[in-house]
Structure 1
Amino acid sequence: MKITFEKYNPSWKKQFESIKNELMEDIGFLNPQIEHIGSTSVEGLSAKPIIDIMIGVQSEEDLNKIPSLLKGKTYVYYEKYNEDMSYRRFFIKLKDLPQNLDLPEIIHQGDEIHEKMHDHKLRIAHIHSIPVSSEHWLRHIAFRDYLRTHPEVRDEYQKLKEHLSLQEWYDGNDYNEGKDPFIKKEEQKAVQWYLNHH
């Protein structure tokens, strides 16, 4: 698969706000911090038009409440990632569902539906729930703010993404591995910068 980017779109910010309001209706009583992260949160950066959202919860206990609170809504819970990333609960929000299916059924429909959900064109958002005390919360926020305030790093990242978009990828995870060395290097600088400035 090829990864398709779009130029920065100010409507991404509005999409985030809309999804954040939806999420707050379901989980607001947990007092979460809900943040827009990833490339769609950085003005001037091209991105896949999928909004990355991070829900920060206060504890491990709250983390484990999130799946049941969002179940049966417009989110699909990817429980399979818990084994590799036990600190995170991951969901995707679909633009529209395959015909004649309601969302709770999707989980029971087997490989065909899961294959469709790999199609990034059907996704509107990726939702990552993480405790705010986690180093992973810190690195995501730090990297976002670092890109927003360091245009030269943002431009270097943009060039890398443009280069990677010319290649064929098995799936989104495969493409993410292509970005990994750059992100790991810059994240370390970003975390240091963030801790010095906050």
Structure 2
Amino acid sequence: MSKELSQMSLEELWTLFPIILKEHNENYKQWYDEEESNIRSFLSRKEISRISHIGSSAVKGLLSKPTVDILLEITPDTAMSEISKILCQNGWTLMNTQMTPYLSYVFNKGYTKDGFAEKVYHLHMRSAGDWDELYFRDYLIDHPEVANAYGYLKQDLLSSYKHDREGYTEAKTEFIAHFTKKARELYGKEK
């Protein structure tokens, strides 16, 4: 994010970057593949445990924000702060660092002073683990009726939360938690 954007208030940022929902774009997979390859080009194999396409853009046919979400899992002996520096040197912007309940760094790419670029990414960097996002993604892929219900929920929430990302995310939490629990019961293995 440019210096101009980093000086904006949260309300100004939400106005410039509202929640937008679009029909599934067949290019999301290609965009993910390109960015995964890009990340692998500047991080070593010993630092990466796994890279996954997560979020609604990973589910074919699902209404979603036009954002490709990526989960980057780092090996336990790798310093996340060092990987963060490397990511920032390679075009990613650190948006948030969360310490609890687990260490997580969130980056973005595709946010400009004029709004969203054509390709927008969110990168979630964590230690290798058993992450809910993978269960939820796979459950939506395997259960199109639940994916459709999730799309309708997001559409219903849009009018109330278009300029409130935190509220929008919080309003989806109960649905996501319910089906993530079902996924963990169904799949019964580490993702």
TM-score, structure 2 normalization: 0.80
Distance 1:131 1:81 in 2: 13
What is the deviation of 1:197? 9.5
The residue number in structure 1 matching 2:145 is: 152
User: 2:109 matched to 1:93?
Assistant: yes
What is the deviation of 1:85? 5.3
Distance 1:93 1:146 in 2: 27
1:189 is aligned with what amino acid?
K
1:167 is aligned with what amino acid?
S
2:87 is aligned with what amino acid?
L
Choose the corresponding residue for 1:76, options 74, 93, 115: 93
Normalized per residue, which structure has more strand?
2
Gapped regions of structure 1 (runs ≥ 5): 99-115
**Native 8 Å contact 1:8 1:43 kept in 2:** yes
Choose the corresponding residue for 1:177, options 159, 165, 170: 170
Distance 2:93 2:189 in 1: 38
User: 2:29 matched to 1:13?
Assistant: yes
The residue number in structure 2 matching 1:189 is: 182
Distance 2:103 2:187 in 1: 22
**Native 8 Å contact 2:20 2:162 kept in 1:** no
Q: What percent identity do the matched residue pairs reach?
A: 25
Q: Number of residue pairs matched?
A: 173
The residue number in structure 2 matching 1:163 is: 156
1:35 is aligned with what amino acid?
S
Residues 196 and 34 of structure 1, relative CA distance in 2, 3 Å threshold: closer
Residues 23 and 52 of structure 1, relative CA distance in 2, 3 Å threshold: same
Aligned residues: CA RMSD: 2.3
Gapped regions of structure 2 (runs ≥ 5): 1-14
The residue matched to 2:148 in structure 1 has which SS?
helix
Distance 2:144 2:183 in 1: 13
Normalized per residue, which structure has more helix?
1
2:146 is aligned with what amino acid?
V
User: 2:56 matched to 1:63?
Assistant: no
Deviates more, 1:24-33 or 1:40-49: 24-33
**Native 8 Å contact 2:48 2:72 kept in 1:** no
1:15 is aligned with what amino acid?
W
What is the deviation of 1:83? 3.6
Distance 1:27 1:4 in 2: 32
Choose the corresponding residue for 1:140, options 128, 133, 136: 133
**Native 8 Å contact 1:74 1:94 kept in 2:** no
Distance 1:49 1:56 in 2: 23
The residue number in structure 1 matching 2:68 is: 51
Choose the corresponding residue for 1:124, options 106, 112, 120: 120
TM-score, structure 1 normalization: 0.77
The residue number in structure 2 matching 1:113 is: none
Residues 197 and 94 of structure 1, relative CA distance in 2, 3 Å threshold: closer
Runs of 4+ with >6 A deviation: none
